[in-house]
Amino acid sequence: MTRAVLTDIEGTTSSLAFVKDVLFPYARRALPNFVDEHTDEVAALLGDDSLTAEQMVKTLLQWMDEDRKITALKTVQGRIWQSGYEAGELEGHIYEDAVRGLRHWHENGLALYIYSSGSVTAQKLLFGNTSHGDLSYLFSGYFDTTVGSKLDSSSYAKIASALGFAPAEVAFLSDHPGEIQAARAAGMQTVLLARDGQGQPPFARSFDEITFP
């Protein structure tokens, strides 16, 4: 029996284009000023207080270019996006079918959780500032890469343990086959989201096609 749903964000609840074409460029533009204003904080995150502000910016930009899943980078991006949401310059994108599905599952007693490579701060900001309103009330908890890699089955075992559920009672949703494989290896139920209809069956094209036992 399914007791909890753990969902990815990019390509699953939210458009990849929103992340790549809106959030990432926004963080890139704001990064130099953020580092100048929070030099000591960023140095602590990078674990090297000998770096100049220019070197920190260069390092973080390189990680952005390489799409590195590094906690320090995700933390800085989350802080920058927080300012953008608070200023009304950003609005989180959530697919309408995802909103319907999440609301339906919440109303029917399923516990909902997020597991994303983006920081917990960024996750909360995205769901708290959407065109559908504040959706953060739907979720009972959030997980990011501090729990481990999304391609490592032990990360999903840790999450299930933290939730107090058997892995088989948790359904993980993602558009990434590697993440699906890792969650399945940990004993979780899995649903691959392939919104373009391209992928190794079985998969769902939207949340409207997902049902749980």
The CATH number for 61's domain is 1.10.720.60
pLDDT of 10 strictly over 90: yes
194 and 157: one domain?
Answer: yes
pTM for the whole thing?
Answer: 0.88
Q: What does DSSP assign to residue 137?
A: G
pLDDT band at 168 (very low <50, low <70, confident <90, very high): very high
- Average pLDDT in the chain: 95
Q: Does the structure show a pLDDT above 80 at 213?
A: no
**75/109 same-domain check:** no
Q: 60, 86, 112: which is the final residue of a domain? A: 86
Contacts of 127 (CB under 8 A, 6+ apart): 92, 94, 114, 134, 135, 136, 138, 139
Q: Sign of dihedral through CA atoms 119, 165, 112, 192? A: positive
Q: Please answer whether residues 142 and 53 qualify as being in contact, where contact means their C-beta atoms are separated by less than 8 angstroms.
A: no
187 shares its domain with 104: yes
User: What is the structure's pLDDT at 106?
Assistant: 98
Domain shared by 123 and 194, yes or no: yes
Burial class (CB in 10 A: 0-12, 13-18, 19+), 93: buried
Q: Do 160 and 106 share a structural domain?
A: yes
Indicate whether 33 pLDDT > 90. Answer: yes
Q: Are residues 129 and 33 in the same domain?
A: no
102: domain CATH number?
3.40.50.1000
Residue 174 backbone dihedrals phi, psi, to 5 degrees:
-160, 155
Answer with the residue of higher pLDDT: 74 or 166: 166
My answer on whether 99 and 28 are in the same domain is no
Do 107 and 71 lie in one domain? The reply is: no
Whether residues 111 and 127 fall in one domain: yes
pLDDT, tens only, 74-90 = 999 999 999 999 999 99
Q: Are 153 and 190 members of one domain?
A: yes
What's the pLDDT score for residue 69? 85
Q: Are residues 131 and 44 in the same domain?
A: no
Amino acid at 58: K
Domain end residue (candidates: 38, 53, 86): 86
Rounded CA separation 178/150 (Å): 8
> From start to end of 25-165, where are the E strands?
111-115, 139-143
Q: How confident is the model at residue 5 (pLDDT cuts 50, 70, 90)?
A: very high
pLDDT tens digits for range 39-60: 999 999 999 999 999 999 999 9
pLDDT score of 104? 98
Domain shared by 47 and 30, yes or no: yes
**pLDDT value at residue 193:** 97
Position 148 pLDDT exceeds 90 = yes
Full domain range(s) for residue 32: 17-86
Number of folded domains in the chain?
Answer: 2
Comparing CA positions, the residue from 206, 180, 209 lying closest to residue 193 is 206
Which tokens belong to 33? 């000023």
Give CA 210 to chain center in angstroms.
Answer: 20
Of 41, 57, 86, which residue sits at a domain end?
86
Q: How many CB atoms are located within 10 Å of the residue 190 CB?
A: 21
Whole-number Å distance between alpha carbons of 113 and 4: 8
Cα–Cα dist 158/150, whole Å = 11
